[in-house]
Amino acid sequence: MFTKVKYSVFSALSLGFDFKGSFALLILIAILTAVSIIAFSLILAALTKTVNEVLVVGNFPLFLFMFFTGAAFPMKGKVLFSIFGYPFTIQGVMSPTHAIDALSKVLIMNSGLKDILPEITALIIITIIYFVIGLWAFQRRHMRVE
């Protein structure tokens, strides 16, 4: 995994990206996002019967994660509510939204950990929710003893 991150950073730098933020924060956000996607994938695994079904069915929600969270193009939705001043949109249900916001603050605006704490907190809370739902659904569907 570290090699992929290293090559991605090298590719971005070679294309002229002016890296301003902390590399450690970049790694922290990447790890939290990966854990969140694994938790969401557990939900997908609970909804399907075979590995092949996971591959077919899993493409659609992960496609939504890629395009509607701001990773492919900037997208801001209408604010539904705020928690301690942190706006929550419909895209906020998808964990990569918070990761993209945190990455843009760190890599472009040179923000520190204190500045991205709301995004990190939202990412952790959504990851926990994904894991709870995924574990419950997976256990209920696949782990029953008959």
Q: Which two tokens stand for residue 24?
A: 């450690």
- Listed as own residue / partner, the contacts of 139-146 with beta carbons closer than 8 Å and 24 or more positions apart are 140/46, 141/46, 141/47, 142/45, 142/46
Higher pLDDT residue, 91 or 123? Answer: 123
Strand-pair partners of 114: none
Specify the higher pLDDT residue, 57 or 38. Answer: 38
Give me the residue spans of the domains in the chain: 18-141
Asked whether the CA dihedral 123, 126, 132, 136 is positive or negative, the reply is negative
Q: Model confidence over 76-89: pLDDT tens digits?
A: 778 777 777 777 77
Mean pLDDT in the chain? 81
pLDDT of 146 over the 70 cut:
no
Give the CA distances from residue 141 to residues 46, 51, 146, in Å, rounded to whole numbers and listed in that order: 6, 14, 12
